[in-house]
Amino acid sequence: MKFDYDIYSDRCPTRAVLDRIADKWALLILDRLALGPTRFNVLRRDITGISQKVLSQTLKLLERDGLISRTAYPTVPVTVEYALTPLGENLTEAVAAFAHWAESNMEAIRKAQLAYDRRERRSDAGVTPKASR
Amino acid sequence: MKFDYDIYSDRCPTRAVLDRIADKWALLILDRLALGPTRFNVLRRDITGISQKVLSQTLKLLERDGLISRTAYPTVPVTVEYALTPLGENLTEAVAAFAHWAESNMEAIRKAQLAYDRRERRSDAGVTPKASR
DNA sequence: CGCACTTGGTTTCCAACGGAAACCTGAAAC
DNA sequence: GTTTCAGGTTTCCGTTGGAAACCAAGTGCG
């Protein structure tokens, strides 16, 4: 079976999907949910730096795309648990490979950045590196 | 060998890397470059919808991180070719898995979206789906 | 009773980012 | 001299993101 989808075309619906999953926060959420169903505030505390607004938005969109499920338990206060759906689990391997590539290659990247910045300084002007803003 | 990096922590340098590669445009560029070295305007034309500004910015950042290389040939007009570095090639498998997961799972996602939107309509209010803005 | 505290959000405000389009540099070709 | 090409940068403006405040419902505490 072949797909007539083309990720390089902005008219292709796959682009919208890429837009959703190729996102720092979505990736971290999916990766974290791979460890098991998790409540809203636990996600918020574990994924340092995410704001409530963005967490809530991202969860809603991931739910709409069928990657995660949301279950509210009528405890007090209400408990809301998010979990991967089978479709979402389907993606976890790729997500994990991706998210943890950074951990494995951090040294090489740091070296590359230092070399680049040294070169830039020699050749004057200089792209403003994000870190120095 | 263990890494004391933690992708969930916003103080971890890996978060900055994730920030860079977990980006729609960066992914598409890396995936496209996996096919071979490519000139600026070819990238711009192939990756539909990217703006020159963002393409140029993203290329610069990917170069700084050592994932791609930039080579200018003194032709007329000047030709600039971008290519994956070994470090970048190292990442292409994960990128491809990721970028093309969308193509393989498009049907399931579309179904999930339709089901979600139908449920939303029944239960009134409704999260505004991106498509209807 | 009245206040604090919990979860799971939404709202508000402002700064940062992204996209569209114009502009720029340099050289050749018309 | 002005049109064309590559490869960008700049400008302008609308959308998005983060920080923090606010909110509802219910329980515990004094």
Q: How far in angstroms lies nucleotide C11's C1' from the CA of residue A49?
A: 20
A112 within a domain of the structure (yes/no): yes
Interface mutation target, options B6, B9, B12, B14, chain A, most CBs of A under 10 Å: B14
The enclosing domain of A94 has a CATH number of 1.10.10.10
pLDDT < 50 positions in chain B: 124-133
Domain residue limits at B66: 13-124
DSSP chain B: ------TT-TTSHHHHHHHHHSBHHHHHHHHHHTTS-EEHHHHHHHSTT--HHHHHHHHHHHHHTTSEEEEEE--SS-EEEEEE-HHHHHHHHHHHHHHHHHHHHHHHHHHHHHHHHHHHHHTSS----GGG-
Query: Tens digits of per-residue pLDDT, B14-43?
Result: 999 999 999 999 999 999 999 999 999 999
Whether A131 is covered by a domain: the verdict is no
Tell me whether residue B95 is in a domain. yes
pLDDT in tens, A42-75: 999 999 999 999 999 999 999 999 999 999 998 8
Is B1 within a domain?
no
Does position A14 have pLDDT exceeding 50, yes or no?
Answer: yes
pLDDT in tens, A77-93: 899 999 999 999 999 99
Total domains in the fold of chain B = 1
B49 and A3 in contact by Cβ < 8 A?
A: no
Q: Is residue A1 part of a domain?
A: no
Q: B54 beta carbon < 7 A from strand C?
A: yes
* Residue B5 lies inside a defined structural domain of this protein: no
Q: Assess whether A79 (CB) lies less than 7 A from strand D.
A: no
Q: Is residue B55 part of a domain?
A: yes
Q: What residues of B are in contact with residue A63 (Cβ under 8 Å)?
A: 116
> Do the domain assignments include residue B4?
no
Flag whether residue A49 sits within 8 Å of chain B, measured between CB atoms: yes
